[in-house]
Amino acid sequence: MLPIALVILASIAVGTASERRWGPVARRAARGALDVLIYGLMPIVTFFTVSHVHLTAGVGAGLGFGWVERLTVIGLAWAVGTRALRLPRPSVGAMMVSTGVANTGYLGIPLISTLLGSHAVGQAVTYDVAVSAPVLLLVGFAIGAAYGTRAGETPRERLRAFLLRNPPLVAFVLALVAPHALTPEWALKAAQAAVFALAPLGFFALGVNLMQEQEEGVRVFPPPLTPPVATAIGLRLLAAPAVMLGLSALIVAVPSAFRVQAAMACGVNGLAVAHIYGLDLRIVSGAIAWSTAIVLSAAAVVALAGGL
């Protein structure tokens, strides 16, 4: 767990230092890092990871609950953002993406290995691939295309932006139909190693965005805990696991790994969606920073107490 926290902190620190030292150059580098993440690494990781996952009936209910949990909190984020806070569309979309996109891969899988043991890693990976990945590619990107300022004006233009700016979705579909011969075991291991390149790129971009806000008169960290940010954090860290726990108690018990994954921090991939489509980066950046700090702190306390 300590190496994860150190990598996250180091990536954010490099981003903030770079923005402070080089300004526009660092901002271009951050945008480039997000482009590499979405258009380069994510399609590769998605294709080879999804093609090797084999779902069983034993975890099917938990995965279904995961989808219910995500769609529920996304709907709540929309309701609060539009009805209670009356935010502009890019801000509402940012709340929805922050709430719906969770860091169940780079953060969730290692934490589960630390807290629950290596036997739970397979379940954590299954949840990440069967819930988090399609939610990001189908729902998260769709929200960005529908609510962003860089996706066009008409429904046709926004649909085009959703399809053409979403190469990981193409990789996901191809992985579902690709023969096993095209996905050898060594490629899966290489894709899993590439996962660890995703988060540093995203957190570097997060650091750049936070420092840019400081130069505009907003403190860098902790970022402002505005009502939209607080709402996104509450829905992601409290409402989402509450839905999973409630369904598990009322219908059928789900693996502990699924319950932990439901409480993961806001995913750094949400920053890439906001960048591509023009959502409110301040809300997404603040939600990622605060929720990641909270989850790492809670995990440290649990680990010191002897695990779950």
Least confident of 108-117, 136-145, 210-219, 268-277: 210-219
Cis peptide before 222 (omega within 30 of 0): yes
Q: Assess whether pLDDT exceeds 60 at residue 220.
A: no
**82-100 pLDDT per residue, tens:** 999 999 999 999 999 999 9
Q: Assess whether pLDDT exceeds 90 at residue 79.
A: yes
Residues counted in the chain:
308
Confidence bin at 56 (pLDDT 50/70/90)? low
Helix 167-177 / helix 42-50 crossing angle, nearest 10 deg: 20
Which residue in the block uniquely carries the two structure tokens 């590499």? 36
**5-32 pLDDT per residue, tens:** 788 888 888 888 888 888 888 889 888 8
**What does the angle CA 64 – CA 66 – CA 71 come to, to the nearest 5 degrees?**
100
**What is the DSSP-derived secondary structure letter of residue 81?**
I
Rounded to the nearest 10°, the torsion over CA 82, 84, 86, 87 is -70
Confidence bin at 192 (pLDDT 50/70/90)? low
Domain ranges in the chain are 2-304
Return the closest-CA partner of residue 284 out of 199, 209, 188, 192. 209
Q: Assess whether pLDDT exceeds 70 at residue 193.
A: no
CA–CA gap between residue 58 and residue 185 (Å, rounded): 24
| Contact call for residues 47 and 169 (beta carbons, < 8 A) | no
**Tokens, residue 255:** 């693996």
pLDDT score recorded for residue 71: 97
- pLDDT (mean) for 42-55: 72
Return the closest-CA partner of residue 9 out of 282, 279, 302, 210. 210
| Contact call for residues 37 and 202 (beta carbons, < 8 A) | yes
| Contact call for residues 201 and 34 (beta carbons, < 8 A) | yes
Q: Assess whether pLDDT exceeds 90 at residue 238.
A: yes
CA–CA gap between residue 231 and residue 285 (Å, rounded): 14
Q: Assess whether pLDDT exceeds 60 at residue 219.
A: no
* One CATH from 1.10.10.10, 3.60.110.10, 2.40.50.140, 1.20.1530.20 for 2-304: 1.20.1530.20
Helices first, then strands: H and E counts in the chain: 17, 0
pTM of the model: 0.86
